Amino acid sequence: MSSQPPPPVTDAVDPAVVERLVVPDEPSITFPGFTKEAFSILERLRARPHIEQYQADKPAIRAHLKRPFTSYRDDLVVNAVLPNGLRLETERNVFSRLLKNDFGAGGCHHHMWMSFYRPARTRLTDLQLAHSIRPSGFRIAVIARRAALQTFTHALDAHQDRSARVLDVINGQLAEAEGGFYIRSRAGEQTDFTEPIDVMPEDFASAASFGLYRFIPSRDVVRLGGGLLREALLSMKQLWPYYNLLLASD
């Protein structure tokens, strides 16, 4: 069950000036973990992506997805945002919605995600250090989206201005067993890179989005229980240099 939200950060700093994220070796964890049922719910929504299925599963969605995810969010604040003094919005509109905003058509997503964001921005307009649960597993990722044009342009500039450093950081993450870098085209097709790359792909500058990520399969998420929080903190620490490099141009 989620604890009360922690107090606001005092003497906070912009994440762009924090070069190294510090996370505790023994984090304080209230997050109970995601159960197998959480992934079964998302599978059902993928098979039948409509509000009728959402309504049928609404109590289970609250119990197995929303409540645990809120507790996960609270633990990230306690163990990462507060200790590093980050100036980030952690409460207001940080979670996505399962129901689509499709003008009453009744569509439904089969994944949930959350991302903190800097003041004067939003979850959708800032560079995202995102945490998402989907039928296949859990992903922690740094994502730049063309839909958030200002931050996307700054992220592209960082790749050009600091190309050698950016490639070093990307390749360092690709050396991890479950790390990856992806580019999604404007047509929605995604190309994943799981081995070190020498240069950025030719279509990179015209991508609809790109990101560096760590993926944890659903079976491992269930096995980890609340320990997923520890893995997420370590992933944030690993991804931070890339996040920081992209923010530094903004």
Alpha carbon separation from 116 to 22, 89, 146, 186, 230 (Å, rounded): 17, 6, 18, 25, 18
Instruction: Name the range with the highest mean pLDDT among 45-49, 103-107, 163-167.
Output: 45-49
- pTM for this entry: 0.91
Q: Which two tokens stand for residue 99?
A: 């129901």
The pLDDT assigned to 8 comes to 47
Quote the mean pLDDT of the chain. 92
Q: What is the pLDDT of residues 89-102, one digit of tens each?
A: 999 999 999 999 87
Q: Which two tokens stand for residue 76?
A: 């990230």
Q: Following CA atoms 233, 234, 235, 237 in sequence, which dihedral angle do they give, to the nearest 10 degrees?
A: 90
The pLDDT assigned to 106 comes to 86
Calpha distance 36→56 (Å, rounded): 18
The pLDDT assigned to 228 comes to 98
